[in-house]
Chain A
Amino acid sequence: GQQLNQSPQSMFIQEGEDVSMNCTSSSIFNTWLWYKQDPGEGPVLLIALYKAGELTSNGRLTAQFGITRKDSFLNISASIPSDVGIYFCAGRGSGYSTLTFGKGTMLLVSP
């Protein structure tokens, strides 16, 4: 099956710092999605990407669909304490009706 490698596994940063995380795959994906999960809740969609090279922003969040279609990146600028949570990438390959999820990046932000 398809697999995603998400890195880093965890990050501990100071408030105000910028954050970068990424996902890579051995196979080509046609759709990349980024989710955030707060403790005790379900994942919430942050950004969806549909075209190779696409760069999309949502407030302080920016995500990119890699040119090779095998990777995606999420950047968070000027982090704040409420950014704490687990960030998941998810991808969909050609012909699939389901998503493959990465194992998540846990983000901790120190005030």
Chain B
Amino acid sequence: NAGVTQTPKFRVLKTGQSMTLLCAQDMNHEYMYWYRQDPGMGLRLIHYSVGEGTTAKGEVPDGYNVSRLKKQNFLLGLESAAPSQTSVYFCASSYPERGGLYEQYFGPGTRLTVT
């Protein structure tokens, strides 16, 4: 199993450009998440999905959109990139609650720079 994979690994955008980050998992997990990580801020949740066709807002959703058309994929979109969106983006997935399990497994990250 590859676990959680993210595409691309690095990207540089100009202000106003758009892009989509792809997350894929092969563990048949129900839940998927998108986080951003900034120095000194830890991991902040952008959006998440508790199942195919469902999405919900996290702590910092503004400027981002997501889609979960297939169970194994979770897409993060930036419609009009801003320098404040320069960050490292991590995708994670987990099982639904089952006997109290809520362990999230992370991808390797996408480093995005917006100039």
Contact = CB atoms under 8 A, between A and B. Distances in A.
B104 A42 contact: no
Contacts of A31: 100, 102
Given A43-B43, A98-B33, A103-B42, A1 B59 contact: yes
B74 interface: no
Given A33-B102, A48-B103, A97-B50, A42 B108 contact: yes
A6 B59 CA distance: 19
B106 A43 contact: yes
Interface in A31-59: 31, 33, 35, 40-45, 48, 50
B42 A45 contact: no
B102 to A, nearest CB: 5
Nearest to B43: A101
A43 B90 contact: yes
Contacts of A101: 42-44
Contacts of A92: 102
B64 interface: no
Interface string A83-111: 00000101010000111011110000000
Nearest to B45: A98
Interface of B: 4, 31, 33, 40-45, 48, 50, 58-59, 90, 92, 96-97, 100-109
14 contacts: A35-B106, A40-B109, A43-B106, A45-B104, A45-B105, A90-B104, A97-B50, A98-B33, A98-B48, A99-B104, A101-B42, A101-B43, A102-B42, A103-B40
